[in-house]
């Protein structure tokens, strides 16, 4: 395992900031200064500023994000962070983001390799949303969304879309661009007033009320690793 990944898994900091610690000479491996290309295993002795560092247990958590929480690890405005709702010793981070006012399924983990895989554009992770909208919900608009719409940062991929009621729509996407669902619906004159992510890949929120979380099963973790 790369030294920066080891430090991140230990809950010290992110990989990027771990690189800064390594370059500053604050990290040692078996008593010698660590390098950016250093690899470590379970038998190596890693220390930060002279204090021993140990790897964390890998955790995979599904949380039902409530409204009014941010998915960033720090917030200059002092808003409640999603990470504050998960009281565990391991340092986990969100896989992707949900807007402050968006609710629903969010994955948290300290498995950086899997997190990077799930967020990479080449991997198609299906995310199912229910949007409450203002505006006339017509079949023509649904068909446009199914084909993909033009956005300011390029065309969206085709989406799976169906109307649930005259003011609610279900949309399944696999891209990870910022505010994507809201922007897509905006192109067909539908204003989103509430947005909820009900399913992340195969993970749904059964028995999880807003703010509640659970660890994934071994089967669910394996299914995520198999996402292509």
Which residues are designated catalytic? 99
Same domain? For 105 and 215 the reply is yes
Give the CATH number of the domain where residue 44 resides: 3.10.290.10
Examine the pLDDT at 89 and tell me if it is beyond 90. no
pLDDT band at 215 (very low <50, low <70, confident <90, very high): very high
Number of domains in the chain: 3
Same domain? For 167 and 141 the reply is yes
Give the CATH number of the domain where residue 188 resides: 3.30.70.1560
Rounded distance, CA 219 to CA 21, Å?
36
Rounded distance, CA 8 to CA 112, Å?
8
pLDDT tens-digit map of 42-61: 789 999 999 998 877 899 99
Same domain? For 162 and 194 the reply is yes
Same domain? For 189 and 133 the reply is yes
Same domain? For 99 and 139 the reply is no
pLDDT band at 67 (very low <50, low <70, confident <90, very high): very high
Same domain? For 212 and 114 the reply is yes
Helices (H), the chain: 3-9, 15-23, 112-119, 139-147, 180-186, 218-225
Same domain? For 111 and 168 the reply is no
Q: Please state the rounded mean pLDDT for residues 194-210.
A: 96
Same domain? For 37 and 78 the reply is no
Same domain? For 143 and 166 the reply is yes
Same domain? For 100 and 161 the reply is no
Rounded distance, CA 173 to CA 156, Å?
9
Output the pTM of the full model.
0.83
Cα–Cα distance list, 66 to 60, 103, 159, 195 (Å): 19, 5, 25, 11
> Which domain covers residue 143, as residue numbers?
127-200
Same domain? For 77 and 92 the reply is yes
Same domain? For 103 and 142 the reply is no
């Amino acid at each position: 395992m790369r030294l920066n990944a080891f430090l991140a898994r230990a809950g010290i900091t992110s990989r990027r900031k771990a690189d800064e610690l390594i370059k500053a000479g604050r990290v040692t491996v078996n008593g010698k200064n660590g390098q950016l290309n250093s690899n470590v295993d379970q038998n190596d002795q890693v220390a930060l500023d002279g204090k021993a560092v140990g790897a964390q247990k890998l955790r995979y958590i599904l949380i039902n994000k409530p409204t009014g929480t941010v998915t960033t690890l720090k917030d200059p405005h002092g808003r409640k962070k999603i990470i504050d709702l998960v009281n565990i010793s391991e340092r986990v981070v969100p896989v992707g983001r949900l807007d402050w006012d968006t609710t629903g399924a969010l994955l948290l983990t300290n498995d950086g390799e899997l997190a990077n895989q799930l967020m990479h554009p080449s991997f198609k992770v299906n995310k199912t949303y229910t949007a409450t909208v203002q505006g006339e919900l017509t079949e023509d608009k649904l068909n446009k969304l199914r084909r993909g719409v033009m956005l300011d940062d390029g065309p969206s991929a085709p989406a799976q879309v169906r109307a649930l009621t005259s003011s609610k729509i279900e949309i399944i996407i696999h891209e990870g661009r910022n505010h994507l669902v809201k922007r897509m619906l905006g192109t067909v004159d539908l204003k989103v007033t509430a947005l909820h992510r009900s399913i992340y890949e195969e993970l749904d929120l059964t028995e999880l009320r807003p703010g509640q979380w659970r660890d994934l099963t071994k089967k669910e973790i394996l299914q995520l690793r198999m996402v292509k």
